Structure 1
Amino acid sequence: MDVYYAYNYASAGWLLLQSIPLLSSPTMMVTLLSPEVRETTPLEAYFSRSLGFAMITLGVLTVLLTGSIPLTTSFSDPSSNLDDPTAPYALPALAITGTYHVVASFYCYMMWNETGNFAFGVATIVGAGLAAAGVWCVLFATADGRISRKTGADKRTSGFPFKNVEADKKRAGKKGL
């Protein structure tokens, strides 16, 4: 679960880092994006700051909904939440942030190919890394449901391409009894 929590904090940190220039200087963002140097309109400043606040909100929600910071709804018995350390919205929030990072890194890659801008290249690399970590967490960090209650073995194992001869012997011995 260490990779899971690292992904959550890295995702929130990346969103926070991207929101800082949007909040601090909308004029700089418009100057970087437009071919001519000009002042921002009030609408551009509003959209820039709104996007910055939305990115911060998404980062905070990522950390809170995925259970990285344990939250309780009451002050009753805090030890009752120790059985399940993840929040009930952990997997949906993980899937949504992973999808966001896939889409954002794909967009940055396309813009990097079109413009050759270094910032798009950096955003592509960071976004692709976060997307890969998110997909890894979806695939492998949710393994509790794949453990057999009866035997305690991992259900994802198979005999392909090699057979487990010892397990087959034990099964054949139990069937013969």
Structure 2
Amino acid sequence: MDVFYSYTYATMGWLGIQALPLIASPTIITTLLSPQVSEPTPLEEYFARSLGITMLALGVMVVLLTGSVPLTSSFSETTDSGVSTDLSDPKAPYAVPTLTISFFYHAAMAIFCYARYNTSGQTTFILGALGSGGLAAIGLWCILFASSSGRISRKTGADKRTSGFPFQNKESASAKKKQMGKAI
């Protein structure tokens, strides 16, 4: 799960990097993205700062809802690493949905930035596409592999998703023979 927590902190960092210039100086952002150099209108400043604050809030919510920061009232309920060991942990229902939503956000932003780069040729868009695309790839990896704790067999400790196609699973076959020998 270390990749999962790294992903959540990287998401917060990436959104924070994008949000700070929007909040601090919308003039720079409009100058970088506009073909004509002009002062931003009050409406453009409002939207830029609102977007920046929203991105910061989204980053903090990703970290909090995935359980990267323990939200318990005492330290005795967590281990040394800060991850709760209780099976009825209240973050469990929110971790995977938050991961999925943040993955779709990063994927959509990567596609959008790449499409804008193709039409405008501006370097800022390709940088956004690379950052969001990298996080989308890590998010997809976490969805596919880091959230599979429920697919491990309690008896054998093996992954239940494995099969014998196209090659035989010799470890599974030998375990079945051993179990059949004990049953007889």
**TM-score, structure 1 normalization:** 0.89
Match of 1:110? 115
Percent identity (aligned):
52
Q: Please point out which of 88, 93, 102 is paired with 1:97.
A: 102
What 5-or-longer segments of structure 2 have no aligned partner? none
Most deviating of 84-93 and 51-60: 84-93
Partners of 2:109 and 2:25 in 1: CA distance: 22
Partners of 2:3 and 2:75 in 1: CA distance: 31
Task: Note the aligned Cα RMSD (angstroms).
Answer: 2.2
Answer whether contact 1:66 1:87 (CA < 8 A) is retained: yes
1:6 aligns with 2:9: no
Give the alignment of 1:1-177 within 5 angstroms.
Answer: 1-72=1-72, 74-75=73-74, 78-79=77-78, 81-84=84-87, 87-88=91-92, 89-165=94-170, 167-172=172-177, 174-175=179-180, 177=184
1:109: Cα distance to partner?
Answer: 0.6
Most deviating of 79-88 and 36-45: 79-88
- Structure 1 segments (4+ residues) deviating >6 Å: none
Indicate how the Cα distance of structure 1 residues 42 and 147 shifts in structure 2: closer, same or farther if over 3 A, else same.
same
**TM-score, structure 2 normalization:** 0.86
What 5-or-longer segments of structure 1 have no aligned partner? none
Alignment length, in residue pairs? 176
Q: Deviations over 1:103-154 (max 9, x none)?
A: 0000011111111111111111111110000000011001210011233221
Q: Deviations over 1:29-83 (max 9, x none)?
A: 22223332222222111111000000000011111111111112x4596359423
